[in-house]
Structure 1
Amino acid sequence: MRSLLTWLLILTVLATAPLSTASACPFCAAVSQTFSEEIESMDVALIAKLEKVPATTPDPSIGGVKANFIITQVIKGKEHLNDAKSVETLYYGEGREGRKFLIMGSDPTNLMWSTPTLLEDSTVDYILGSIKQPKDDYHRLIYFQKYLEGKDDMASRDAYDEFAKAPYDWLHSLKPDMNHDQLIEWLKNDDLQANHRRLYFTMLGVCGSKADLPFLETMLKSDDRKQKAGLDALIGCYLTLGGADGMPLIEKLFLEDKEAEYADTYAAIMAIRFHGTETDIIPRERLLQGLHLMLDRPSLADLVIVDLARWEDWSVIDRLSTLFKEANDDSSWVRVPVIRYLMACPKPEAKEALAELEKVDPEAMKRAQTFFPFRNSGVTPSRDAEQAIAMADQKVGVQLVSAEATQELTADTETTEVEVGVDEAPLSEDQDAAVENMNEAPVIATDEAKEPLTEPAAAASAAERFATRGDRLLADAIQNPQAVEAPSANRLVLVATPLVVGLLLALGMWLILRSPYQAPSA
């Protein structure tokens, strides 16, 4: 169950990670395309009024009837309209004669019109204002900030999406224009959507001060799930404003407490991970001190081993070795991550530990070296492991590569990236409920089946021949992080194309269904 859910998440991460950039809200997710994006993607966009309610009965096969709309304002593509004063397209709603709609069309040679979207007058003003904003400048956020949590629900949702998709550095540039008191007021509303809470916590981290810490502490300590909605961003905000002095409370509530809910613990790990990779507010040594506490919770220790390796914290070799030896049915999946941590470690103690742990669980060693068949300067796989790799070379292999590694390999980095995977093991109810929040998961890539090895001497090169291009890039990143080669664009195209097609199909259905569900009452 753990593996299946993780793999499903990984496919999404692999397809989207290369295409994404750091957003203004690191903890937020955009809900849909913004009006600006939709209009940009179409050839024609206009505001029109429904001339009259269609008199005919809707065709059951298409769910609507053709209706005539009088053009009141052309937003884009006037040259494609040939001075037309009206457009005729399918209409799925009930009678709203005289009301305004947003209608968009593609293919100038034979315009195909989208489903009309019913708008309030305030939404029309919002759209007309949004298309006038600079595309590549943080000043556009000043405009959208005015519509956050406004009375116009459609404009408010769109403004949130604009923030969620904006570059992260824009948010810091926006600091002088943020309304601190308004953010506090919004965050006091327990019914606020979780994603919106995440955005406002992130904004408060930019414009707030230590005076806001008591307000945040009240929510951190609350047993009310509504107050703790968007907990990852709440913790991130608290640590941003409190710095290293805020770590003890987070450790006490979510890391030390073995009764803490899995989702809460993982939210804390995500916030610490964010601070360790995106900010320098808290020294990394202090963040690692907090992550070390997870090693006292064996069933969850695998969540942080990847961070320890990535941040080159080689101080826990003995603790991880003990964790490996004492693993039981509830924590057995920690063994492969421990091995991979030791494989990445350049210290001679790591090599000694690997030899010792191989005697405890040789199967875990074989799995780890099969899925991550590379040496570093301090580790040489055993002959048995080499032979196991050679045997596996006869089959179709499955490589597990960190999703974050895929993303980081495209940029210069000064840190060592290492993949740490997990074995199959059942999830608890809390873990199952929180798996959707996981942002560190292995990415699946299959290798072609190869001819069986018949020469013993070939075993030494089995690891290299078994590896995919992505694995070689990852190994290079470990051994020489300053000379990392970017992933092939062809691979990106192959992976991204099915996703884009799926998104377009989903968008098409959404456009068809959008009007009946989003249309306000007459």
Structure 2
Amino acid sequence: MDWFTKLPFALVCGVLLASLVPESADGCEFCLVPTLTFTEQVKQSKAAVIAEWKSATPPVGDETGQTEFVVQQILVDADGLLLENESLTVNEFISGTKGAPFLLINDNAKETLAWTHPQKLSPEAREYIARAPSSNVSTTTRLRYFLRFLEHPDQDIAIDAYGEFARASYDDIKAISGEFNPVQLRKWLSDSSADTTRRGLYGLMLGCSGGPEDARFLEAIIVQPTQEFRLGIDGMMAGYLMLNRAQGMTVLDKAILDNQEIVSSEVAALAKAMRFLWDFEPQCVPRPQLQQAMRKLLVRPEFVELTIADLRRWQDWESTALMPQLLADPKHNFPSTRRTIVRFLLAAASEENTSISVQQRTQAQRILDDLSKQNPGLIEDAKRLQYD
């Protein structure tokens, strides 16, 4: 997008960071996706075992050294080559103590078992992996298991449990919301030493399970003045709007969208929360109120292109009247921005558009006609380049 080259670097970084989390039905909308979970590693492997360290030979000269393990539990054995209590050798020197548990993964498709670097496990992690439901079990059943480990003292376990939620759809997370503990969620969100990457998830979970007290708790955090980027504030905003609904939207509209001094990352977070409500919780805030709030982002150059695309997707044809002003504003005189505006107008003027009034369609067509006289190539470019 052309306007990025004209904006201050810090501002651009804030907007980009606010968009780092997935916005897909395939994963939590407000979660940073970590590395592969234990379950995913096992699922993608040719062989996987929990084994105990037995002995190791240090490297000598060009030799890499070796480590011997004893198989305790077979998690995957695609070729049927493994037996419990048998020894297996890894061509790598791994220090350890006798009986210490390790996770061994083989993701090599060749016949010979080639183990990747063994992962040392605590006794708790060993039991956690051994008891975890397989990937064939329903996601909701799996999430019920991982829920209890989200803030486990063993960081390997806590990170893995979070990863399972980060990869789960909102529908699956919401399905087990009756088992969430709002008091515990508030405690985690209040803990300044807690991992901030989880705040978006916990805010969303609180929105699924909380009440008026939790809405007040989230509001106090959200409206607190800040000039810093706050990781996870988007999920907390979504959770707050789920609890406080239209009234909450009015609060955030005034505190964030009407505040010209607020940092762009806070605006981006609220825009993301509004998109989430539109797609997943449409009953929480009336759609006309969301449309009206989203229009306010049009005064901010860094959000114009994304906002127009949202308004087009939301069929907010009342915004048609704003397009001439945007086209005439030199702050938006970038090819990609102008193409985005034209795509909105093309959708509004389309004969296939049954959600628009005759007056609004006529208005859109009139703007397009004027544009075709001033810049005939612009409309063709917008049609040809569907995305910028």
**Cα offset for 1:338?**
1.8
Q: Does 1:26 align with 2:1?
A: no
Aligned 8 A contact 2:185 2:202 in 1: yes
Aligned 8 A contact 1:67 1:91 in 2: yes
The separation in 1 between residues aligned to 2:305 and 2:225, in whole angstroms, is 27
What SS is found at the alignment partner of 1:157? Answer: helix
Aligned 8 A contact 1:222 1:228 in 2: no
Structure 2 partner of 1:348: 362
Structure 2 partner of 1:318: 321
**Cα offset for 1:246?**
0.8
Summarize deviations over 1:294-328 as a string: whole Å, max 9, x none. 23335533331111111211112222212211x11
Percent identical: 27
The separation in 1 between residues aligned to 2:339 and 2:380, in whole angstroms, is 9
TM-score (norm 1): 0.63
**Cα offset for 1:368?**
4.1
Summarize deviations over 1:78-107 as a string: whole Å, max 9, x none. 831267711111335444443211112244
Alignment match of 2:159 (pick from 146, 150, 157): 157
The separation in 2 between residues aligned to 1:223 and 1:372, in whole angstroms, is 42
**Cα offset for 1:225?**
6.8
**Cα offset for 1:117?**
0.7
CA gap 1:256/1:225 in 2 versus in 1, 3 angstroms: closer
The separation in 1 between residues aligned to 2:338 and 2:114, in whole angstroms, is 57
The separation in 1 between residues aligned to 2:227 and 2:192, in whole angstroms, is 9
Aligned 8 A contact 2:71 2:83 in 1: no
Aligned partner letter, 1:241: L
Aligned 8 A contact 1:258 1:297 in 2: no
The separation in 1 between residues aligned to 2:104 and 2:300, in whole angstroms, is 56
CA gap 1:123/1:224 in 2 versus in 1, 3 angstroms: farther
What SS is found at the alignment partner of 2:363? Answer: helix
Aligned 8 A contact 1:191 1:226 in 2: no
Structure 1 partner of 2:9: none
Structure 1 partner of 2:88: 87
**Equivalences for 1:78-157 in 2 at 5 Å?**
79-81=80-82, 85-91=86-92, 93-105=94-106, 106-107=108-109, 109-131=111-133, 135-157=137-159
Aligned 8 A contact 1:44 1:80 in 2: no
Structure 2 partner of 1:243: 245
Structure 2 partner of 1:200: 202
**Equivalences for 1:18-97 in 2 at 5 Å?**
21-23=25-27, 25-57=28-60, 59=62, 64-77=64-77, 79-81=80-82, 85-91=86-92, 93-97=94-98
**Cα offset for 1:2?**
4.7
The separation in 2 between residues aligned to 1:39 and 1:56, in whole angstroms, is 29
CA gap 1:119/1:225 in 2 versus in 1, 3 angstroms: farther
The separation in 2 between residues aligned to 1:198 and 1:242, in whole angstroms, is 17
**Equivalences for 1:248-267 in 2 at 5 Å?**
248-267=250-269
Summarize deviations over 1:155-214 as a string: whole Å, max 9, x none. 111111111112322222212211221111100012333331111111111101122122
Structure 1 partner of 2:236: 234
Alignment match of 1:177 (pick from 163, 176, 179): 179
What SS is found at the alignment partner of 2:193? Answer: coil
Q: Does 1:370 align with 2:381?
A: yes
CA gap 1:299/1:152 in 2 versus in 1, 3 angstroms: closer
Moved over 6 A (4+): 3-6
Structure 1 residues not aligned, in runs of 5+: 374-398, 402-441, 443-522
CA gap 1:76/1:336 in 2 versus in 1, 3 angstroms: closer
Aligned partner letter, 1:111: L
The number of residues matched between the two structures is 359
Aligned 8 A contact 1:244 1:282 in 2: yes
**Cα offset for 1:291?**
1.2
Larger RCO (alpha carbons 8 Å, 6+ apart): 1
The separation in 2 between residues aligned to 1:102 and 1:189, in whole angstroms, is 32
What SS is found at the alignment partner of 1:110? Answer: coil
Aligned 8 A contact 1:91 1:116 in 2: no
The separation in 1 between residues aligned to 2:221 and 2:96, in whole angstroms, is 46
**Cα offset for 1:3?**
7.8
Aligned partner letter, 1:72: Q
Structure 2 residues not aligned, in runs of 5+: 6-11, 350-360
CA gap 1:130/1:368 in 2 versus in 1, 3 angstroms: farther
Aligned 8 A contact 2:101 2:120 in 1: yes
The separation in 2 between residues aligned to 1:26 and 1:299, in whole angstroms, is 22
Q: Does 1:297 align with 2:300?
A: yes
**Cα offset for 1:292?**
1.9
Summarize deviations over 1:461-508 as a string: whole Å, max 9, x none. xxxxxxxxxxxxxxxxxxxxxxxxxxxxxxxxxxxxxxxxxxxxxxxx
CA gap 1:242/1:227 in 2 versus in 1, 3 angstroms: farther
The separation in 1 between residues aligned to 2:52 and 2:26, in whole angstroms, is 39
Summarize deviations over 1:12-52 as a string: whole Å, max 9, x none. x9xx99xx6432x2211321211111112223211222222
Summarize deviations over 1:311-363 as a string: whole Å, max 9, x none. 211112222212211x11x332343222221111131111111222445x52x
What SS is found at the alignment partner of 1:51? Answer: strand
Task: Choose 220-229 or 297-306, whichever is displaced more.
Answer: 220-229
The separation in 2 between residues aligned to 1:336 and 1:51, in whole angstroms, is 65
The separation in 1 between residues aligned to 2:93 and 2:382, in whole angstroms, is 53
CA gap 1:263/1:368 in 2 versus in 1, 3 angstroms: farther
- Give the alignment's Cα RMSD to 1 decimal: 2.9
What SS is found at the alignment partner of 1:52? Answer: strand
CA gap 1:68/1:216 in 2 versus in 1, 3 angstroms: same
Aligned 8 A contact 1:317 1:350 in 2: yes
CA gap 1:58/1:303 in 2 versus in 1, 3 angstroms: farther
**Cα offset for 1:128?**
0.4
CA gap 1:225/1:209 in 2 versus in 1, 3 angstroms: farther
Aligned 8 A contact 2:51 2:71 in 1: yes
